[in-house]
Structure 1
Amino acid sequence: MKILVVDDMPSMRQVMMHMLISLGHVDPDEASCGLHALKMLRTHDYDLLITDLHMPNLDGEQLLSKIRHDKKLYKLPVLMVSCEDDKAKIMALIAGEVTGFMVKPFNLSTLKKQLDWITPNCHTVLEATL
């Protein structure tokens, strides 16, 4: 599974990349902001996007909206990561069709559970469209 990790904090990207590698995802890519991520998504094929919610310029919610309105990207699973605890904001993300949501701080077990849940659902969606 090809994964793109997006976070404006280099330390958080490094933690996420290390976790993904330890779970067997040997070649994750990273982007420092939503604008960079959108360019990468439009030029490379990814199976999953893991993005922070709060970022400058193009935040995770705006990135999600652009993905869901893009003919090529709209089915891409998006796992949102944030320290956000505002239930209304989280409900808006769900309405925006986020695939999963993790609250910071999280551990390796939480990430693994999200990936295990998202991966079979990705294959189900893909199989249903073939």
Structure 2
Amino acid sequence: MKILVVEDTMTMRHIMLHMLRTLGYEDLEEAVDGAHALDVMGRHKIDLVITDMNMPKKDGFALLQEVKANPKLAHIPIMMVTCDPDLDKIQLAVAAKVAGFIVKPFNLQTLEKQLKLVLNKLESKVAS
């Protein structure tokens, strides 16, 4: 499984990549914002995107909307990471078919739990 981590803060991006490697995920890509993520998705087969909600240039919500509007990418689950407790933004992301949420700060167990939920949903879709 190839996972794309989209996060504008280098330290947070590296923490998430390290956590994913700790959980056994080795096939990883990274991007600094939504525009960069779309470029990476155009060059690599991505199975899951974990993106920050708030980023410059193109934020996680705009990325989610563009991916879901693109027939070639719409099947890719997107997990949103946010420190923003704005319920309106969260509801908009849910309406746009976000696969899951992680609230910052989070730990390895939270990431693992959310990944399992998203991957279980994905397996259920494939099985049906």
TM-score, normalised with respect to structure 2: 0.96
**What amino acid is aligned across from residue 48 of structure 2 in structure 1?**
L
What is the CA distance between 1:27 and its match in structure 2?
2.4
Q: How does 1:63-78 map to 2 (within 5 A)?
A: 63-78=63-78
Size of the aligned set, in residue pairs, is: 128
Q: Tell me which residue corresponds to 1:56.
A: 56
Q: Tell me which residue corresponds to 2:91.
A: 91
CA root-mean-square deviation: 0.9
What is the CA distance between 1:124 and its match in structure 2?
2.0
What is the CA distance between 1:87 and its match in structure 2?
0.9
Q: Tell me which residue corresponds to 2:4.
A: 4
Distance 1:116 1:73 in 2: 21
SS at match of 1:79: strand
Distance 1:121 1:20 in 2: 19
**What amino acid is aligned across from residue 7 of structure 1 in structure 2?**
E
**Unaligned 5+ residue runs, structure 2?**
none
Q: Could you list the runs of 4 or more consecutive aligned residues of structure 1 that deviate by over 2 angstroms after TM superposition?
A: none
**Unaligned 5+ residue runs, structure 1?**
none
